Structure 1
Amino acid sequence: MAITAEQNDFMTRVGPGTPAGTLLRRYWQPVALSEELEEKRPLKAVRLLGQDMVLFRDESGQLGLVDRDCPHRGADLAFGRLEDGGLRCPFHGWLFNIKGECLETPAEPENSRFRHSIQQGAYPVVERSGIIFAYMGEGEPPALPEFDCFVAPDSHTFAFKGRWECNWLQALEVGIDPAHASYLHRFFEDADTSESYGKQFRGASADTETPITKVLREYARPNIDAKLTDYGMRIISTRKLDEKQTHVRVTNMVFPEAIVIPMSAHMTISQWHVPIDDTSCHWYAIFTSFTEPVDKKKMRDQRLQLIELPHYTSRRNKQNDYGFNVDEQLKETYTGMGHDINVHDQWAVESQGPIQNRTREHLAASDKCIFAYRRMLVKAIESTLADPKAPVPMMPDAEQAREMIGPISIDGVGASTLTPEQYWEQADRKRREACDWAAKRLTA
């Protein structure tokens, strides 16, 4: 089912006043990693949903997010000074606190109350598990769900990010497409699974010694099922290995733009695909361990082999053909683009263009999750345009947010006598029972 150019714009454009942008502003959005606010000068220019802002910590450690242009004469507050309880513009010394209130206008008459008429655009921010989230919508924001990635102790989580040069929607859609992994992430040889720490699709599936690379390579036609949930969609992919065993992979789409997927038998990834603007996006990921504390240094060093600071861009990109090597493509990997699956995904979505032309696509039966998500997205956009407070998915209050555990993400091999649901429920309970912080959340 092809869509029109107008329908494509309806789903993809995110600037102020656009249909999709209006919807996405109703949700908390990752705006930076905590580590990006350096101790010496905790201030950073950020761009989110086509808007330019400045993120900072004031002298008391409180987080603030304000529009980047000074409301006096438009100077760039990204070069401001953090002093006297706020952010001061170097042009004329106007001072703003984290709420955007103007505290001082030094050049004005001593008894002037002019500052009280000034309000800089300011946005609520919260910090969770190494990521700073911002709310750019109107009214009260929804509660953040108490998912595993947000309630696990700091020792058991690690956050990182990267930048892709394409629209956010095609970046998200690769994450809810189970069929691509058997080709895009195919390796012709299986590595030592004991060396797989921190590497996706390089370890063994749970409850087996079989490398996931072998499963994906030899069983390339998964059965895909998509179930709507209170948080979005649960995606269950099964591959029958033989008469006794079935491979089960459970991933999740958390509306509107996140996925929760298995990293390994003992670690999950919660990942957001966040629009910088219409033609670029960041992915933010929280890795959550159900066993030992995360080796943060190792995880960070692994990612810095691919990601270049300070802009979190990929060293393998369109300018160098993503490191493509024909000999590697013939002998080692299906893409010839190295062994990091983030590069494979980046090539796939960036090669579709800055904004994918969906008028030319031909979705098939294996794209059922794409169909389901787009229906959900369009319905939520239309509801929001009709009523800015209309009910849409994932708008929990505090009580509802406390009940949101998981979402469960599993990659494992179970007995074919079990239904996929029976297997992943048992596998999840077993993993939680062995984990101190997760066991506390188990219900009878």
Structure 2
Amino acid sequence: MMSQEQNDLITRVGPGTPCGKLMRAYWQPAALVDELEGERPIKPVRLLGEDFVLFKDETGRYGLIDRDCPHRGADLAFGRLENGGLRCAFHGWLFDVDGNCIDTPAEPAGSPLCKNIKQRAFPVVAKGGILWAYLGAGEPPAFPEIDCFIAPDTHVFAFKGLMECNWLQALEVGIDPAHASFLHRFFEDEDTSQAYGKQFRGASAGSDLPMTKVLREYDRPIINVEHTEYGLRLIALREIDDERTHVRVTNQLFPHGFVIPMSTEMTITQWHVPVDDTHCYWYAIFTSYAAPVDKLKMRDQRLELYELPDYKSRKNKTNDYGFDPHEQATATYTGMGLDINVHDQWAVESMGAIQDRTREHLGQSDKAIIQYRRLLRQEIEKAASGARPLLALDEAAARAIQGPATMDGIGPSRGWETYWMEVDVKRRRGAPWAAPVPSEIAAKVPHLTAAE
């Protein structure tokens, strides 16, 4: 149990807050690349409690600047793209992607006013189908060379969804291996050959056992947590019998991401990005180690639930997340349909806009959450002191962060420790793109990596 002061420290991310300073040491997802592909590539963005406008100029450069015009505060999200920048619709002041004022047409000819105006502007880069913004001071960090960033565009797909709650409780559901046996429990298993694009509906590697069956019948996992150079590695073990154990390896990617297996061929790298203290977006990059991603199918599957332009779920607190008591009695554990995103959203939004952690009681199955919070407090202190926090990398260090390895499969009860690594390495070896084997994994399975 924690104090209110401790809860505020790890949840509040606005300007001037300790956790906000930590978050501003990293690139943050600001929008999907797709969102600026239309005829008017201008989008209001609220990020870390601040309001900006994101735009793409005529030459294809991206800009992120403060949303209020520095003239008299009008909303630049309603501006026009012309003459090399974004022009305010009120008096025509024009700003380029670097925040420079390049025209004040209502002023007298030759007026020097423009030269003295500078709108706050922030770097933006496109990577993995996401537009990333850096809101911090100084030079931005380098991106780690993790799989979702180095895979070719043909083998990644990005999407997002809005959650009406604090970012931390949204993240914590993703680093909680125990909840899947209950929140995502299904009473019947689907044909695993039809599982493309769906989480928890395929078969575990090395078997024909559907993940849904494993999660349903083996609901007391042994959870191991390891500290890594990128955050945490979580290993959940569910013993099937004396000879076989289900092994699920996931990762916490500091500060607010995780990397999990979606299927034997695909992983999900997902970030929980604070819009402000009471809202967040999850941004996910799906990475394929086999065939190119069917982006149209993946997008259409998700648009059945999420509505544009804000990527809000059609099932939400206003309609009880589609809850059906008959379904709960006969088909699913929650009674909220088959999409696990709905289950997760209900769980984290039901805690309140900001979970009151002074009232919670944690158990042994919450060890990953306990260790993550300890890590988060440690890195908040580090950022406050001016030191470089975990995974805020320079170019040399970024090249050393690879992977991370994930796996969901049935392996030997004796020898699972190397089994999951072997499965990950074999998948990387078979990928049509150069998926590197993380050095720590390569050192432990030399019989698979000696050819390098």
Q: Shorter-normalised TM-score: what interval?
A: over 0.9
Residue 438 of structure 1, CA deviation? 3.4
- The residue number in structure 1 matching 2:444 is none
Unaligned runs of 5+ in 1: none
C-alpha distance in structure 2 between counterparts of 1:248 and 1:84, whole Å: 57
- The residue number in structure 2 matching 1:123 is 122
In the alignment, is the contact (CA less than 8 A) between 1:290 and 1:438 conserved in 2? Answer: no
Please tell me the residue identity of whatever aligns with 1:11. Answer: I
- The residue number in structure 2 matching 1:436 is 432
Please tell me the residue identity of whatever aligns with 1:171. Answer: A
In the alignment, is the contact (CA less than 8 A) between 2:47 and 2:276 conserved in 1? Answer: yes
- The residue number in structure 2 matching 1:302 is 301
Alignment RMSD: 1.1
Task: Map 1:97-246; keep pairs closer than 5 Å.
Answer: 97-246=96-245
C-alpha distance in structure 2 between counterparts of 1:408 and 1:233, whole Å: 12
- The residue number in structure 2 matching 1:412 is 409
Query: Secondary structure in 2 aligned to 1:127?
Result: strand
C-alpha distance in structure 2 between counterparts of 1:174 and 1:282, whole Å: 14
Please tell me the residue identity of whatever aligns with 2:375. Answer: M
C-alpha distance in structure 1 between counterparts of 2:72 and 2:47, whole Å: 23
Please tell me the residue identity of whatever aligns with 2:16. Answer: G
C-alpha distance in structure 2 between counterparts of 1:284 and 1:106, whole Å: 40
C-alpha distance in structure 2 between counterparts of 1:63 and 1:418, whole Å: 50
Sequence identity (%): 64
Query: Secondary structure in 2 aligned to 1:20?
Result: helix
Aligned pair count reads 440
Residue 112 of structure 1, CA deviation? 2.2
- The residue number in structure 2 matching 1:74 is 73
> Deviations 1:229-273 (Å, cap 9, x if unpaired)?
110001011111111111110001000000100000110000000
- The residue number in structure 2 matching 1:15 is 14
C-alpha distance in structure 2 between counterparts of 1:400 and 1:13, whole Å: 29
> Deviations 1:124-154 (Å, cap 9, x if unpaired)?
1110111001000101111011111011111
1:403 aligns with 2:394: no
C-alpha distance in structure 2 between counterparts of 1:86 and 1:373, whole Å: 42
1:394 aligns with 2:373: no
Residues 204 and 401 of structure 1, relative CA distance in 2, 3 Å threshold: same
Residue 403 of structure 1, CA deviation? 2.1
- The residue number in structure 1 matching 2:283 is 284
Please tell me the residue identity of whatever aligns with 1:245. Answer: R
- The residue number in structure 2 matching 1:91 is 90
Unaligned runs of 5+ in 2: 439-448
Residue 111 of structure 1, CA deviation? 2.0
- The residue number in structure 2 matching 1:427 is 423
Residue 441 of structure 1, CA deviation? 5.9
> Deviations 1:393-443 (Å, cap 9, x if unpaired)?
1122112212221111111111223132x0121011110111121356676
- The residue number in structure 2 matching 1:45 is 44
C-alpha distance in structure 1 between counterparts of 2:437 and 2:228, whole Å: 19
Residue 391 of structure 1, CA deviation? 2.8
C-alpha distance in structure 1 between counterparts of 2:165 and 2:40, whole Å: 31
Query: Secondary structure in 1 aligned to 2:434?
Result: helix
Please tell me the residue identity of whatever aligns with 1:145. Answer: P
Please tell me the residue identity of whatever aligns with 1:337. Answer: M
Please tell me the residue identity of whatever aligns with 1:221. Answer: R
In the alignment, is the contact (CA less than 8 A) between 2:202 and 2:263 conserved in 1? Answer: yes
C-alpha distance in structure 2 between counterparts of 1:200 and 1:356, whole Å: 26
In the alignment, is the contact (CA less than 8 A) between 2:166 and 2:277 conserved in 1? Answer: yes
C-alpha distance in structure 2 between counterparts of 1:278 and 1:263, whole Å: 29
In the alignment, is the contact (CA less than 8 A) between 2:20 and 2:48 conserved in 1? Answer: yes
- The residue number in structure 2 matching 1:366 is 365
Please tell me the residue identity of whatever aligns with 1:417. Answer: R
Query: TM-score, structure 2 length as denominator?
Result: 0.96
Residue 21 of structure 1, CA deviation? 1.0
> Deviations 1:165-211 (Å, cap 9, x if unpaired)?
00000000000000100000001111110111100001000111000
Residues 120 and 440 of structure 1, relative CA distance in 2, 3 Å threshold: same
Bigger mean CA offset, 245-254 vs 104-113:
104-113
